[in-house]
A and B are shown apart, each in its own frame.
Chain A
Amino acid sequence: MSVPADLITTAPVPDTAAPFGPFGTAGRVPGWARSLEIVIPGAILAALLFFCFIWPLVYPVPKPIGGSLLTPHLPLWSPGHILGTDIVGDDVMSRILYGGRVSFEVAAAVQVIGLVIGGSLGMAAAYRGGWVEAVLMRILDVFLAFPSLVLVLAIADGLGPSETHVIWALSFFSIPAFARVARAATLRLRDQPFVVASRLSGSRPLTIMFRHLVPNMWPQLLTFSLLGASLTIILEGALDFLGYGIPPPAASWGNMIASGQQLISVYPSFVVVPSVFLLVTAICLNVLGDGLRARWGTR
């Protein structure tokens, strides 16, 4: 009877990250939990965070540094060393876990600093408008027109490699980036009727910013931080790799890759294992950020 005809053009199906999760769970599971693009990366990230931060506290994981030189180059799945040991006998798995700590700490710190400092600056400047904003935009342009990289490298080189220095160095990228996003969002929201109404009824600027602007901006800022976190982890790895970041023997994914370079044809796992963790973490953050962005409908 009803012939599904081809009397149609091939109009594209709307591209949304809308839920298409497990059947039969409608009504019992909240919307976001049904979206595979959010659940899967979220779960993987949660697992990674658990294993990096909490697991070593409960389970006696071998130390990442000071392994026995008598047991170098152990292959994967050796008893007591799931991922084998590296060139000096340190357990690879625990180096991965502790290195992961570094990566996550740095990523979180850089995003938070960027959000708090950059976000506030951008929001405040865009709200005030006038010459304050103009000056800020020029300064931002200066940072974005490149020296960030120079500064990062210079700082890392000059002050010596350490986790804190890496955090400060990378913040030079994230502060202007967040300021830009916050500024754009504020400009969009500033002239909305509800903000104008609030202003006209005498609310103080700070109140307006925190009661009206922030709640409307945070989804956008959150997805931006997730995507930024992914980039930060890669950049942090780059700094470690180039020798400007966390110095060995402390573990970090980047310097594990760097030190594995020489032996790449003989023991490729030294490079492959941290690379895989790096890749998976970055992908999860990207997919999660993208999925949330599609879901919340912000660009």
Chain B
Amino acid sequence: MAAAAAEGAPASVQLGPSPLLEVSDLRVTFRTRAASIHAVQGISFSVEPGQTLAIIGESGSGKTVSAQAVMGILPRTATVSGSIRFKGDELVGRSEHELRDYRGRNVAMVFQNPERSLNPTMRIGTQIAEAILSHLKVDRKEAHERAVELLRMVRLQAPERRFYEYPHQLSGGMRQRVMIAIALACGPALLIADEATTALDVTTQAQIMDLLMDLQQQTGTALLMISHDLGLAASYAEEVIVMYAGKVVEQAPTKELFADVRMPYTQALLDAIPRIETEPHVLLPVIGGRPPDLAVIPSGCSFAPRCPAVQDDCREQAPPLRQHEPGRWWACWHPYRKGAPE
């Protein structure tokens, strides 16, 4: 990829086969009675086959909306523009009917609340089989067998018995495994995990993430992690995208991002993570202020009101996202110097 600073062009870490998912200048706006909410303001990224990409951001940064746009499950009040290409096929502008074929078959999603994401009155095996039957031409018996196999794959004990159980008979971690089984039922090329471990305790979190990693190895599925947890990204992702107020503000391979933070925002996020080494009874360095109102597109940098390194020109003009170094993108007028955070 040319080292020239190309604005808004898709980023890609490794050269190789064409990307699995290519998002270009995606914009999502919600029409409400009061105003238009600009949830996503022109983001671009791509996912390679088998890659693990993490999108990190606060609530309201637009990360979940972006994931929903890729899945095609945005509500009717949303206006989408830009381009989302999956294996070269353009998804923006497709009919609902066509998208239904694509959803679940090529891209699948695991959600945040395992208690609420499964139908309480349906057996879990049936819910998995449903996913299979809706896309693959198999008979019920084979769907049943595949479902049991999937339950085994997500490491649930006694899968034949589990097939007949109801969601309330399972713990949170087990339910999330079932959700993963449903997601992987049709062998999708891309799996989106939207805060999939946020509602789980730390131990279970680690188990689920390890499971996802192993499954990825087994099946070669690409994984798009959405989270607010930088630590999670650090441990499991190959590349990290940081979003703020609907825009991508930094993008880099994981190691480089954490070794060498440029964006004040990313640094602030890192600082806010409680650490074992921190002295007790010391105030956590949280980021002051609140995320901006997405109904208003600011003239300057969105983070300016809260940025510790803000300068006058930040407020006047919004910095563009540029690839300043090979594989590293950021959008800041005054990024931290290499190795010397302010």
Contacts and interface: CB of A to CB of B under 8 A. Distances in A.
In-complex A–B contact (CB below 8 Å):
yes
A8 B75 contact: yes
Interface stretch (B86-94, B210-218, B316-324): B86-94
A19 to B, nearest CB: 9
A7 B96 CA distance: 7
A3 B74 CA distance: 15
Given A8-B74, A11-B75, A11-B76, A2 B93 contact: no
A13 interface: yes
B92 A7 contact: yes
Contacts of A150: none
Contact of B93 (A5, A9, A13): A5
Contacts of B93: 3, 5-7
B286 interface: no
A3 B92 CA distance: 9
A5 B94 CA distance: 7
A9 B94 CA distance: 11
Interface in A115-150: none
Given A2-B27, A2-B29, A9 B80 contact: no
Contacts of A7: 69, 72, 74, 80, 84, 91-94, 99
A47 interface: no
Contacts of B79: 2, 4-5
Nearest to B79: A4
Contacts of A201: none
> What secondary structure prevails in chain A residues at the interface with B?
loop
Of A3, A6, A7, chain B has the most CB atoms within 10 Å of the CB of A7
A10 interface: yes
A1 interface: yes
Contacts of A2: 27, 29, 79, 81
Nearest to B31: A4
Of B27, B72, B84, chain A has the most CB atoms within 10 Å of the CB of B72
A1 B81 contact: yes
Nearest to B84: A7
A9 B27 contact: no
B: contact size bracket: 20 to 34
17 contacts: A2-B27, A2-B81, A4-B79, A5-B80, A5-B81, A5-B93, A5-B94, A6-B93, A6-B94, A7-B94, A8-B73, A8-B74, A8-B75, A8-B76, A9-B72, A9-B96, A11-B76
B81 A13 contact: no
A7 B28 CA distance: 11
B226 interface: no
B157 interface: no
Contacts of B73: 8-9
Interface of B: 27, 29, 69, 72-81, 84, 91-96, 99
A25 to B, nearest CB: 14
Contact of B72 (A1, A4, A8, A13): A8
Nearest to A2: B81
A9 B74 CA distance: 6
A98 to B, nearest CB: 46
8 closest cross-chain pairs (CB), A and B: A11-B75, A5-B80, A2-B81, A8-B74, A7-B80, A5-B93, A5-B92, A4-B79
Given A3-B80, A8-B73, 17 more contacts: A2-B27, A2-B29, A3-B93, A4-B80, A5-B80, A5-B94, A7-B69, A7-B74, A7-B80, A8-B74, A8-B76, A8-B78, A10-B76, A10-B96, A11-B74, A11-B75, A13-B77
A1 B74 CA distance: 19
A13 B78 CA distance: 12
A6 B79 CA distance: 9
Contacts of A8: 72-76, 78, 80, 96
A2 B25 CA distance: 12
B124 to A, nearest CB: 23
Nearest to A4: B79
Given A2-B81, A5-B81, A13 B92 contact: no
B66 to A, nearest CB: 12
A6 B27 CA distance: 14
Contacts of B96: 6, 8-10
